[in-house]
Structure 1
Amino acid sequence: MKETVPAPRRIIYNDDPALFDLDADTQDGEYSWFEPPAEINEQGWGDNGFRFTVAIGNSSDDALDNFARWEFDPVDGEFDIQAWIPAAWASAEIQYLIWVDSNDDGRFTEQENIASPWLDQSLVPGWASLGTHSLDGSVRIEVQDTRSRDDWRAHGDEATGVVASRIAVDAIRLVEVADRP
């Protein structure tokens, strides 16, 4: 009797998030996605290090300023969605927004938001799970500076606030959880 070997599980990586800074496009606006010092940046996954910004959550009067977005080609199956969190430098508790374009129209609508898990980046260095989800279509994952339980202005002086409220963005991977037939 010939033994069948299950197909290897798929792991799909995106280690190059698109970084958006709406403030940079306004008069006197400043770009506010930053690269950490070289010895810290080496903690990023892959060769390109990571970037960070500060959280401006816990406030209803703040408009979205910075966000990072990862996009994946269409997939079909059960996947554990995981984010790479550097061992140092990430300190905010943030919400990851996960969409699946299930009708393949090229848009990600409110109805296609399948999950919005919270993750305290200060507690989980390395690969952190955002949950297991059934995916059928293109996938978009986003982190926004206003979707945080931290706000750099609420942590004492400016230096303390920035250190206590950094949002790090790096790699996201989709790890298939069931073997394919």
Structure 2
Amino acid sequence: MRKYLVQFKPFLIFIGTFFAAYIILTVVYKFYLNSLRPDEVDAVTNWVGHNVEQLLLMFNYDIKIQQGFASPWLEVWFNNKYGVRIVEGCNAVSVIILFISFVLAFSGKLKVTLLYILFGIVFIYILNVARIALLTVLLFHYPEKSHLLHGVLFPLIIYGSVFILWVLWVNKFSKYAK
């Protein structure tokens, strides 16, 4: 048994670190969400909504984002038409938690690890804001493509980008990089 523990030590450390980080970050985030009133929009979702609105206003779109009446989501009004809503799951926090957990599991030098995590958080956040803004415009023009856009294409973009960040991390910056 000891032979196998020694043989698989790097894998076991990776799995242990990944799940420990993922569980701790998820529990902390859930505690935060549970501290909110049932009709309250969390701060990150509010920031995302505000930034989506700012981005679309930069391109002179007629956009208004406001909290739904007694509901924990943001309503997106595009060209004076209610189009989509931004819920807590749209804020990419769960994707960021997954990203951080993976980077920590393949950690490198402390400073490089922390800088890469910070870079990744900012990149995922900006990508997510752009994703929601583009999705808003496309769903206004192509509402019949809702499943393809929201359910397939845009998750592929965000998860694909995170996968690329992971590959870069492992191959260029982690302690396993050659």
Could you state the TM-score of these two structures normalised by the residue count of structure 1? 0.28
- Return the structure number with greater helix share: 2
Rg comparison, structure with higher value? 2
Which structure exhibits the higher relative contact order, with contacts defined as CA atoms closer than 8 Å and separated by 6 or more residues?
1
